[in-house]
Amino acid sequence: MQAKTFNHLLGFSLFFLAHWFFGNLYEEIVLAPNQLANSYEALKSWQGYFTVTNQIYYYVPLTQIAVFVVCFLYVKSSNKKEKCLLKKASIFGLLSILITALIVTQLNLKLFFGDIEKYKEQIYNLSVIWLIGNAIRLYLVGTCLYLTFKTYILGQKTMIQITTTKLLPKQD
C-alpha cells in the first residue's frame, strides 16, 4: 500500500474515532447525568425532543468503519512499530464496538427508544449502568484513538526522516 493512501486512511480513522470519542464524552458529561435527577421525566422529555433526528445518525456507520479501517491498516502495515500500535488500536476499537452493541441493545433501546412506562421502576438503575458502560466505552475508544494517533505521529517522523535524507547532501 502506498504511503499516501495509508496516511489518508489513517486520517479518516483519526477523524471519526475523535468524532466518536468526543460525542460520547459530551453525552457522559452533559446529557446523561440529567437522567439521574427525576429519571422518568427526564427520559420522557428526551424521547419527546428527539422526533426528527437522533444520535444514531451521528455515530452510525462512520465510527464503526473507522475501527475496521484501523484493522485493515494493521493487516497492511509493514513497519513493525506501526503494526504493533495498530494491533493494539484494533483490539481496543473492536472492544469499543462490542460494548457499544451491548449498550445499545440492553440499555438504549429501553431508555431512549423504548416504552419507558414499561421500565419506569428500572430507569434510574439503567441510567447509572449506562453512565458506567459509557465511561468504559470512553476508555476503550480513547485508547484506540490514542494508539492510532501515535501511529500517525510515527508515520510523520518516518516521512520527515526520509525527506531529510533525500534533501541533505551526503557527507564524506
Residues 79-132 pLDDT 10s: 999 999 999 999 999 999 999 999 999 999 999 988 999 999 999 999 999 999
pLDDT confidence bin for 172, thresholds 50/70/90 = low
Of the listed ranges 45-59, 101-115, 153-167, the least confidently predicted one is: 153-167
pLDDT confidence bin for 158, thresholds 50/70/90 = confident
* Structural contact between residues 107 and 124, judged by C-beta atoms closer than 8 angstroms: no
Question: What is the C-alpha separation between 121 and 15, in angstroms, rounded?
Answer: 39
* Structural contact between residues 82 and 155, judged by C-beta atoms closer than 8 angstroms: yes
Locate cell 466505552: which residue? Answer: 137
* pTM score, whole prediction: 0.91
Question: What is the C-alpha separation between 57 and 23, in angstroms, rounded?
Answer: 12
Q: How open is the CA angle 154-83-3, to the nearest 5 degrees?
A: 60
